[in-house]
Amino acid sequence: MRLSATSLDHVPPGIARYSYERAAQEIGIVHFGLGAFHRAHQAWYTDLCMDAGERGWAISGVSLRSPTVAEQLNPQDGLYTLTERSGDDSETRVIGAVREVLVAAQEPEKVIARLGSQSVSIVSFTVTEKGYARRPGGSLDLAAAEASFYPLLTQGLRLRREHDLPGLTLVSCDNLPANGRELERLFGEWLAERAPDLAAWVAAECAFPSTMVDRIVPATTPADIDWLEGQLGVRDEGAIFTERFSQWVIEDRFAGPRPRWERHGAQLVRDVEPYETAKLRMLNGAHSALAYCGLELGYEFVHEAIADPMLRGLVERLMRQEAATSLSPAPGQDLEAYADALIARFADPALNHRLIQIAMDGSQKIPQRWLETLAYHQRRGAPCPALIEALAAWLKHVRGDRRPVDDPMATQLVTLWANTGSSGIAAALFGPQGLFAQTWQGDEATLARLTRRLG
Ligand code: CS2
């Protein structure tokens, strides 16, 4: 039996669940990219808000093309469970916040109608780094944008303007520096090309807060789903497993109403930047290093890689001496304590977080995770041996001869490798004309050091 509104009675009473009347909640949020992360994070905070009595924040989730999430959740009336794991403990909650999942490729009109409906005031995004359609230097790739959320968002906003409805708050929840500003800039570039008549209205009526989101959410495995079925008595094809830790720092800049997420642990702040940069350079930077160096050494999971004394040393150095020293912390932000907490989170074996999951889309991730730190230290003439080691492991990974490379630039990188060989690849990417030179251009000695590591 599948989990659903009717089968919920079969779930043991000890399992926590929402207590509000779902059918009475209007849709207040449209979310692009209803993957595991959103369901473990924003949807959970929003569920807690409605549980505490707030109304009208049901979520309409949009998948651009893949029907997978719709097939998981729609037969379950949008219901799914979130299980927090730590050591041997686990705690499961049935989440009611998601009303429906729309597949944009199948029913674009419905998505546009949701965006244009009066009850909606927030559009949020977890479309991953590549969903923003940025070129390596940061400008908008119009062709890639065409295949992402940009056209739907434009049509939805146009509908609002035609009906004299207020604008929307567009909340980016992806791991990009200044993600709100970035979305605003990229969407502005898009509008200038494709809908210039809408640009002034968007600038006046919409808001783009930046947010820092943090929760480690490994991909659910069939074994997880089987285990949970044993606990629940019903099968949840949309089940999500995560850690206990969760953090959401949101810039207080909204165009209209919003849920009181801050009553359930989110932090509303004036400036997200110090938290966002610390998270990207320390947590995500360490994660990517563990992924490429760990895979090279034959590890499968984050907790295995961090237990290796050599990798542990590398990550300690990367976080404390290279990333943390490149940051300007906010008052009260303790980067040493942050590094300690990150090591403990990585070491938790309950998560089974696969390195290959993190290794995905490296070309979209490493500029903000590693290259900005390298650029900072290069200006000061300070070496970054841990980051160079990590970069070498990434270069070896994208050569493509060890395991499949899941990256929108995979073909380009494999071809570059074939053309330049190990003596030329570092310069092709990070030399004066390199593909990533706009973020970090290595000096000769550093590029030579990097090249030697490829041996
Ligand atoms: C990870 C992130 O897959 C990855 O690239 O580094 O998804 C990471 O787990 C989250 O940002 C944690 O908040």
Angle at 216 between CA 35 and CA 255, to 5 degrees: 60
With the most atoms of ligand 1 within 8 angstroms of its CB, the residue from 358, 364, 368, 406 to mutate is 358
Does 334 lie in the same domain as 262?
A: no
Does residue 3 lie within any of the structural domains?
Answer: no
* Residue nearest atom 4 of ligand 1, based on CA coordinates: 358
Atom of ligand 1 nearest to the CA of 357: 3
pLDDT exceeds cutoff 90 at 102:
yes
Last residue of a domain, one of 251, 269, 287: 269
Instruction: Please state the rounded mean pLDDT for residues 393-412.
Output: 96
CA-CA-CA-CA torsion for 109, 67, 99, 154, nearest 10 degrees?
-30
Tokens at 133, concatenated: 């359609």
With the most atoms of ligand 1 within 8 angstroms of its CB, the residue from 174, 287, 354, 355 to mutate is 287
Look at residue 340 in the predicted model and tell me its pLDDT: 98
Instruction: Please state the rounded mean pLDDT for residues 52-72.
Output: 98
Last residue of a domain, one of 269, 297, 328: 269
* Residue nearest atom 10 of ligand 1, based on CA coordinates: 216
Last residue of a domain, one of 269, 295, 310: 269
| Distance (Å) from CA 288 to ligand 1 centroid | 9
* Residue nearest atom 1 of ligand 1, based on CA coordinates: 358
**Per-residue pLDDT tens digits for 274-290:** 999 999 999 999 999 99
Does residue 59 lie within any of the structural domains?
Answer: yes
Mean of per-residue pLDDT scores for the chain = 97
| Distance (Å) from CA 212 to ligand 1 centroid | 12
Number of domains in the chain: 2
With the most atoms of ligand 1 within 8 angstroms of its CB, the residue from 129, 276, 283 to mutate is 283
| Distance (Å) from CA 254 to ligand 1 centroid | 26
Does 337 lie in the same domain as 284?
A: yes
Look at residue 140 in the predicted model and tell me its pLDDT: 98
Q: Is 246 in the pocket of ligand 1 (CB under 6 A)?
A: no
Look at residue 246 in the predicted model and tell me its pLDDT: 98
Look at residue 123 in the predicted model and tell me its pLDDT: 98
| Residue 317 belongs to domain spanning | 273-454
Does 387 lie in the same domain as 241?
A: no
Instruction: Please state the rounded mean pLDDT for residues 56-62.
Output: 98
Lowest mean pLDDT among 69-73, 132-136, 237-241, 389-393: 132-136
Look at residue 401 in the predicted model and tell me its pLDDT: 94
- Residue 133 backbone class (left: φ over 0; alpha: ψ -120 to 50; beta: rest): left
Does 263 lie in the same domain as 277?
A: no
Instruction: Please state the rounded mean pLDDT for residues 24-44.
Output: 98
Look at residue 416 in the predicted model and tell me its pLDDT: 97
Does residue 229 lie within any of the structural domains?
Answer: yes
The neighbouring-strand residues paired with 63 are: 103
Does 292 lie in the same domain as 326?
A: yes
Residue 200 phi, psi (nearest 5): -70, -40
Does 443 lie in the same domain as 354?
A: yes
**Per-residue pLDDT tens digits for 161-177:** 999 999 999 999 999 99
For residue 88, the surrounding DSSP H or E stretch is none
pLDDT bin (cut points 50, 70, 90) of residue 136 is: confident
Does residue 2 lie within any of the structural domains?
Answer: no
| Distance (Å) from CA 426 to ligand 1 centroid | 26
Does residue 1 lie within any of the structural domains?
Answer: no
Q: Is 242 in the pocket of ligand 1 (CB under 6 A)?
A: no
Does 347 lie in the same domain as 303?
A: yes
| Distance (Å) from CA 54 to ligand 1 centroid | 30
CATH assignment at residue 343: 1.10.1040.10
Residue 383, Cβ density class (10 Å: 0-12 exposed, 13-18 middle, ≥19 buried): middle
Does 56 lie in the same domain as 164?
A: yes
Does 247 lie in the same domain as 209?
A: yes
Three-class secondary structure of residue 242 per DSSP: strand
Residues of the chain with pLDDT > 70, as a percent, come to 100
**Per-residue pLDDT tens digits for 194-232:** 999 999 999 999 999 999 999 999 999 999 999 999 999
pLDDT exceeds cutoff 90 at 137:
no
Tokens at 435, concatenated: 């593909």
CATH assignment at residue 21: 3.40.50.720
Q: Is 357 in the pocket of ligand 1 (CB under 6 A)?
A: yes
**Per-residue pLDDT tens digits for 287-340:** 999 999 999 999 999 999 999 999 999 999 999 999 999 999 999 999 999 999
Does residue 398 lie within any of the structural domains?
Answer: yes
pLDDT bin (cut points 50, 70, 90) of residue 455 is: confident
Look at residue 117 in the predicted model and tell me its pLDDT: 98
